[in-house]
Structure 1
Amino acid sequence: MRIYVAGHTGMVGSAVVRRLRHESIHTVITATRAELDLTNQQDVRQFLKREKPDAVILAAARVGGIWANNTYPAQFIYENMMIAANVIHESFATGIHRLLFLGSSCIYPRDADQPIDESALLTGHLEPTNEPYAIAKIAGIKLCESYNRQYGTDYRSIMPTNLYGPGDNFHPENAHVLPALLGRFHDAVTDGSETVTIWGSGTPRREFLHVDDLAAAALFVMQLDQQTYAQATEPMQSHLNVGTGKDIAIADLASLIGQITGFEGEIVFDRSKPDGTKRKLLNIERLAKLGWQPKVALNDGIAATYSWHIEQKKFHRALRSA
């Protein structure tokens, strides 16, 4: 099977490509952003007509943490809606029957019951700090559902919880919470700082999934037969949650990262900054009943991600000095 992975240079897309190439039974099709602008409908149409993939995994997205979502709401909603609309529609227009859309747990209402079931979608107000991004992802889910209903396509959606792992963004402001903390604690250890400041109160609870586990889940869902997938999802909400079923307080996460990075100073919480949603834990019973479970423990995953980050920093220093 020829599979086009949209967004293959990102953390999620690169993990999916690694998994596909490890299985060695598919031909993987990719295109960099310079080669293909996914916000341009004509470019997407021409690319799919030329490459003729049998299936598409849509992992491309503009992503970021609370600061980035608050600062660039127009880019987040526009780019993500255009990517979803162009890739999904042009996949249909060029005769591609199978597609997997990767969303985000931020699609669910801010005050949804915990753990969050797939049926919670569109039952309440979204978290304001990432509402534009969430709306774009909801649009992607509904595009898949609508094309399935009207044209009989087999377009599926999975909603992962907070992700981390190799290829993540470690920028102190633009990154998601876990890599941002890893970068911040590493810098504190390197600089000999006595304190590390964390946004918010530290009380919100978050669930974290290693990106390699997500890649495994994506291919697991992609390979289910159509009837099995349909039976596992609701007719009007045909997406599946992907997570670990466990969460951790941000304060405890910071302490864990401090231990892994060797930080021995004080952790300070800046309560003037927003906490975001108080708790976000996904109900993963539907996917578990199909036979999938995550394998990477949080401690091990963070330690491996930190080692990867250190190696990347060494590599880029060597390039600059060469």
Structure 2
Amino acid sequence: MIKKLLSLTILIIATLGLSAQTISGTVTDLNGAAIANQQVHIMNNDSMNPYSSSTYTTGSGAYSFANVPSSSMGFMVYTYDCQQNFQSVYVASNTGTANFTICTSNPTGCSAMFIDNPDTLNPLVINFMDLSTGNPTSWAWFFGDGTASSMQNPTHTYASNGSYSVSLVISSALCTDSISFTIYVGNNIPSCMAAFYYVPDSNITNSIDFFDASVGGPTSWSWDFGDGSTASTQNPSHNYATQGMYTVTLLIAGTNCSDLITQMVYVGTGGNPSGCQSSFSLSVQGLNTTFTDASTGAPTGWTWNFGDG
């Protein structure tokens, strides 16, 4: 994907302790049996202190991420089921359990995908994150400046600003796939940025209407509603089975770019049990961006993080 111009979060939450923690859980099949050697990923939404990692389950279906730095934004723990559907669990800061129940047929295909994020202190440093499906076992990155890496989630420092064609080749015993994006390093304007908002359906209980607000003219949309359901339309509606908080993810792609955004969505009557819901809209004109708070719950304080330091 291309470099994000900015990543913004409105924080309307209490201050939490920032100590290292362990996040763990289990992966089981639809019959409750343990699934061994299942890859599980973790990432946060904190552009100031990004963190990501991956591991595999043991023979008992258990996994663990040790010494995870706490984040006030919490974490998204995710894996992929037998149909390569994205399954995620939101873990708040200073808590540590994420369990999955997934189907287990052995997929024979894989699909390469990645996102990139610039370092908040040095725009020439780019953090790459593999989002490929199909449980690849090897990764070959080509950064477009004559250098390469075989790490799953590498960090690369470019010598100068500019555009670079980055390629990722993944492989396993069952498949091989590749993908290439042009990324923009330094003071360059990105061509797409993921964003969305949502509105509860006034006529259908537990139904949410989602609206794509991405910029840059994306041509494909991949939604994960946080309950095992997905969609590929631009502005889907989704009916949840029960009330509660869900982690909703939107992945967009267009010509030489892709981007990912995750938001917590409350489903149910009576309003968000936390008492407020953060939201905002934005308008982009060149390098100038206007942000408008659209939060509910009558907040009295706002902290904006623009993602550029």
What TM-score comes out, normalization by structure 1 length?
0.26
Q: Which has the higher strand share?
A: 2
- TM (norm. structure 2) is 0.26
